Structure 1
Amino acid sequence: MKVWILNHVALKPSETGITRHYDIAHELVKKDHKIRIFASSFLAYRFVWRNKHKKNYKENVNGVIFEWLWTLPYHGNGVLRILNMISFFFMALWRGMMKKERPDAIVGSSVHLFACLAAYYLSRWKKASYIVEIRDLWPRTLIELGSMSKYHPAVLMFGAIEKFVYKRADQIIVTLPGAAEYIKEMGVDESIIHVIPNGINMDRMQEKEGKSSLRNEIESIKEKHGQVAMYVGSHGVANSLETVVKSAKFISTDQAAFVFVGDGPEKDKLKKLASDYEHVYFFDGITKKEVMPTLDLADVLMVSMLDTTLYKYGISLNKLNDYLLVGKPILFAGNVSNDIVAEAKAGVTVPPEKPGAFADGLVELLNLSGEEKAEIARSSYRYVNDKHNITKLADRFLDICAYREREEEAPSYQLSRN
C-alpha cells in the first residue's frame, strides 16, 4: 500500500520527542509498503529550523519518506502559533497536490486539526481513503487545561473543524481509549472508530546496554543521596511536575534525589521552585538512544498528571512505554480511566497534585525488595509487549488504512474494532 501521513510535528528517530509515525512507518516499510510523512521543517518544541539551509525538501530516513514543509516560524503560544498551523494546512495541500503519486490512504493526524482538514481535501483530490487520527482531543484539551474558554475564537474554530472531519472520515483512529465515546456523541458511527495507542519498538530493550551522557553525574548523585527518583520527558503544564518538586520537602536528602531530564516551557519555573532543595537536579533533554540507558540508572521512575476531568478519556503516554520497557518501579500520580501502571502491576498510583501522597508513594517504592523489583520488571515487560508492541500496532494501523481494499474484495466483511 501507499499511505500518506500528515502530522505537523512528526519526528525522525534521532530527534527528541514522540516518533509514533516514524515507528509505525518503519515497520510497514519493512513489509514493502510505501509511507510518506508530511511534517513541518520548523521544530515547534524548540522554535528552530531543522535545517537552516533548507525549508522545503524531501528526506529518506531508513526507507520512510519525510516531506519537510516550510511553516511560519514563531515563538511562544500566541496568534503566530495559530498562523503556523494554518501555514501547514496550505503547504501540505500544495506539496500533496504537486505529487504525481496516488496514495491508497491519507491519514490526517492531530494534535491540531488543520492536518486532518488538509488530509480530507487531499484525499478527495487523490481519490484515496480518508483516515482521521486523533491523538489529543482539541478543542476539549484547550478548555479542560484552562488555557482557553469555550467561547474563545480558536476553540470555536477548532470545534467546527472537529465536527467537519469526524463526519467525513472513512475511518477514525484514536490513541485514547475513552475518545471513542467522546466522538460517538457527535453522531459518528462507533464501528469506524479504532483505538491504537502509542507503541514502542521492543528491540529498544537492547539500548539499556548503551551509554548515557549523564551516567557519571547520576552515579555521583546516588553516592550522595542513596537512591534516584527520575523523570524523563517534557516539562510542560500538563506534566504537573510542580507536584513532584513540592514532594521533595517530605523526602530527606539521604533517602533519595529527584532527577529531572528534559526541556519545556515550565522548566525555569520548576528550577526556581526547587532552589531550596539540595536533592533536586535538572538536566537538559537527551537523544532518544540515550533514554533507555539513562532510565536504567534510576531506582524509581516518576509520572505526574494534572487533576482534570480531561483524563476520563484516558491517556497514552510515550514515556510510560519507555518506563515499562526498562522495567523500573513507576510512581504514577493521576486520576485516569486507564491506569496503565496499575494494569501492568508496574508500581504505585497516588492521587494527582498531592505532594504528600506523592512522597508516600515514593517511599513505598524506594523500600521494595530485590524480588519485588524483579517481579515488576517481568510484569511490565509482559504488559508492554502485549499492549504496546509497535510491530503489532503497525499491522492494526495498516489494517484500518486498507479497509476499502478488503471491502471491495469481500463486501460482506466487517472491519473489526480494535
Structure 2
Amino acid sequence: MSVKIWIINQFGNTPDVPGHIRQYELGQFLSNQEYEVEVFASDYNLTQRQYRKLKPGQICHSENYHKLKWNWLYATPYKINNWQRYVNMLSFCISLFILGLIKPKPKIIIGSSPQLLAAFTAWILAKIYGSYFYFEVRDLWPQVLVELGGKSPKSLMVRGLAWVERLLYQESDRVIVLASGAVDYVKNRGATKVHWLPNGPDLTEFEHNITPKQAKQQYNIPFDCTCLMYTGAHGTANALATVVEAARILDHEYSEKILIILLGDGPEKENLIQQAEGIQCLQFRAPIPKQQIPQFLQAADGLILTLKNIPLFQYGVSPNKLYDYYASGKPVIVAVGGAVNAEVEAYQLGWAIPPENSQDLAQSVMSLFKTSPEDKQAMGQRGKSLVYSTYSRATICQKLSTLIQEDVNH
C-alpha cells in the first residue's frame, strides 16, 4: 500500500500561474518515488487576486496535476493587507479542517508557513490521525508582523501567534527551515529535529535553447540597452520604492542606455506606478506564469533583489527568486543585508549594497552597465556553480525524501 503524504501551504501554486511552486516541485518528486501525495492550497490566487477553479458555493476543487492530487480550497477574497487578510487566513483553515476530516488518513503531513494558522490546523489534523507532522518554516511569524507590520510584541494577536509558533516548534516531528540563519532561531524556541532545506530552482528549467538576443526580441526589450529585472511580489517587504528612486537618479543620463523592468504584482504596485510617473528607464510588467520565468530571465543583463531594512531579513529569509537569478547565469544586485549580501560578496556574484539605499542601488546599476561582458558572464557562471553545489531543487527534494523514508521505516 502506498504511503499517503499531505503538503499544506495556503499560497502554493502550480507552474501555470504566477507565484512560488515549492510545494508542487516537492510533491512531484515524491510522487515520482511512488508516494501518494496530495497538496492543499487556496484557490484565491494571491498574485492575481482572483479565484481560478472554484465555482460559487464550492469549498474545494480537486484535480490531478502531473501525478499530484491538488486540492484548491476556498478562502475569502482580499485586495490589500487589512483585516480582510486575516479573515482570508481563517477561512482557509476552516476549509482545510473540513476537507481534512473526510480524507483517508495520511502517514505524514507537511504544514508550511507563512500562514501560521494553516500550519497549526495541519498539526491538529496530524494529532487526530496520529500522523507524523513536519513544520516547514518559510517566514518567521509572528516576528515578521512585529518588524515589518509594526505590531506590538505585547498585542494579543502577536502573543497568541507566538504561543502557536512555540507549540509547533516543540511538537513537530521535524522542523524544516528555508533560511540557514533561522536554525538557531527555531532551536531557541524549542525545536529539536531541525533540517535546513533551502529554496532552490529546478535546474532542468534553465537549460535554454533560446539566446539572450532571442529572448530580448521575444519580450520586446531593446537590443542596445542594458536590461535589469526584478521578478516577483510588489509588497511592502520588497522595498521596490528603492528601485523606483534609483531609476529616477539614473534616468537623466541613462534613459536610453538602461532599462529596469519590474515584473509581477502586489498591493504596492499601483502606488509604485504613481511614484514612477515620468521615469523613462523604468517599466512595469504584468506577472507571468512561473514556468515562463527562466526564459524571461534570459533577456536580462543583470537581476535585482531588494528587501526592507529590518533585522529579520538579515538572517531569516531564503528568497526563491535569488536562486532563480543564480540559475539564469546573470550577475545580481542585492540590497538585503545580512546573509544574502554576505553570500553574494563571498562568491563574487555581483553587487551587495545596504537595503533601502537608492543612491547605492543607482551606483551599482551604473557599475554593472560599465562592467565588461566577460566579467558579467563570469559572475553569472559563479552563481550557476553555487546553485549546482548548494541550491539544486533535486538535491533538496532528495534530502526531504530521505527524512520521510526514515519515518516511514521507523
1:117 corresponding residue in structure 2: 120
* Structure 2 CA distance for aligned equivalents of residues 279 and 158 of structure 1: 43
Q: Which residues in structure 2 correspond to 1:306-325 (within 5 Å)?
A: 306-325=308-327
2:334 corresponding residue in structure 1: 332
1:250 corresponding residue in structure 2: 249
CA deviations on 1:293-318 (whole Å, 9 max, x unpaired) are 22111211111121111123242111
2:23 corresponding residue in structure 1: 21
1:93 corresponding residue in structure 2: 97
Match of 1:57 among 53, 58, 61: 61
Indicate if the aligned counterparts of 2:7 and 2:27 stay in contact, CA closer than 8 A. Answer: no
* Cα offset, 1:401, TM superposition: 3.0
Indicate if the aligned counterparts of 2:200 and 2:324 stay in contact, CA closer than 8 A. Answer: no
1:176 corresponding residue in structure 2: 179
Indicate if the aligned counterparts of 1:39 and 1:67 stay in contact, CA closer than 8 A. Answer: yes
Aligned to 1:132, the other structure's residue is in SS state strand
Aligned to 1:382, the other structure's residue is in SS state helix
Amino acid of the residue matched to residue 273 of structure 2? K
User: Runs (4+) of structure 1 moved beyond 3 Å?
Assistant: 210-218
Aligned to 1:307, the other structure's residue is in SS state coil
* Structure 2 CA distance for aligned equivalents of residues 278 and 378 of structure 1: 31
Indicate if the aligned counterparts of 1:207 and 1:289 stay in contact, CA closer than 8 A. Answer: no
* Structure 2 CA distance for aligned equivalents of residues 17 and 229 of structure 1: 20
1:411 corresponding residue in structure 2: none
Change (3 A) 1:343 1:403: farther
| 1:196 lines up with 2:200 in the alignment | no
Larger deviation: 193-202 or 396-405?
396-405
TM-score scaled by structure 2?
0.92
* Structure 1 CA distance for aligned equivalents of residues 97 and 407 of structure 2: 23
1:415 corresponding residue in structure 2: none
Q: Which residues in structure 2 correspond to 1:146-295 (within 5 Å)?
A: 146-189=149-192, 192-207=193-208, 209=210, 215=217, 218-220=220-222, 222-223=223-224, 226-251=225-250, 252=253, 253-295=255-297
Larger deviation: 52-61 or 292-301?
52-61
Larger deviation: 370-379 or 235-244?
370-379
Amino acid of the residue matched to residue 392 of structure 2? N
Q: Percent identity?
A: 28
* Structure 2 CA distance for aligned equivalents of residues 234 and 257 of structure 1: 19
Amino acid of the residue matched to residue 91 of structure 1? S
Aligned to 1:21, the other structure's residue is in SS state helix
* Structure 2 CA distance for aligned equivalents of residues 62 and 311 of structure 1: 35
Larger deviation: 173-182 or 330-339?
330-339
Indicate if the aligned counterparts of 2:216 and 2:299 stay in contact, CA closer than 8 A. Answer: no
* Structure 1 CA distance for aligned equivalents of residues 233 and 169 of structure 2: 29
Q: Which residues in structure 2 correspond to 1:314-393 (within 5 Å)?
A: 314-339=316-341, 340-393=343-396
* Cα offset, 1:344, TM superposition: 4.0
CA RMSD of aligned residues (A): 2.1
Query: Gaps (5+ residues) in structure 1?
Result: 409-418
* Structure 2 CA distance for aligned equivalents of residues 370 and 276 of structure 1: 30
Change (3 A) 1:62 1:344: farther
Aligned to 1:286, the other structure's residue is in SS state coil
Larger deviation: 59-68 or 154-163?
154-163
Indicate if the aligned counterparts of 1:314 and 1:338 stay in contact, CA closer than 8 A. Answer: no
Amino acid of the residue matched to residue 229 of structure 2? M
Aligned to 1:219, the other structure's residue is in SS state coil
* Cα offset, 1:404, TM superposition: 2.6
* Structure 2 CA distance for aligned equivalents of residues 76 and 134 of structure 1: 24
Larger deviation: 12-21 or 240-249?
240-249
CA deviations on 1:232-285 (whole Å, 9 max, x unpaired) are 111111111111111123322243122211111111111112113222111111
* Cα offset, 1:365, TM superposition: 1.4
TM-score scaled by structure 1?
0.90
* Cα offset, 1:219, TM superposition: 2.6
CA deviations on 1:62-85 (whole Å, 9 max, x unpaired) are 001112222233332222321221
* Cα offset, 1:346, TM superposition: 1.7
* Structure 1 CA distance for aligned equivalents of residues 302 and 377 of structure 2: 13
Amino acid of the residue matched to residue 249 of structure 1? R
Aligned to 2:276, the other structure's residue is in SS state helix
* Cα offset, 1:214, TM superposition: 7.6
2:8 corresponding residue in structure 1: 6
Amino acid of the residue matched to residue 262 of structure 2? F
CA deviations on 1:8-54 (whole Å, 9 max, x unpaired) are 11111111110001011111212212211111122233331122425
Amino acid of the residue matched to residue 132 of structure 1? F
* Structure 2 CA distance for aligned equivalents of residues 318 and 78 of structure 1: 25
Indicate if the aligned counterparts of 1:235 and 1:241 stay in contact, CA closer than 8 A. Answer: yes
Amino acid of the residue matched to residue 296 of structure 2? T
Change (3 A) 1:113 1:219: closer
Query: Gaps (5+ residues) in structure 2?
Result: none
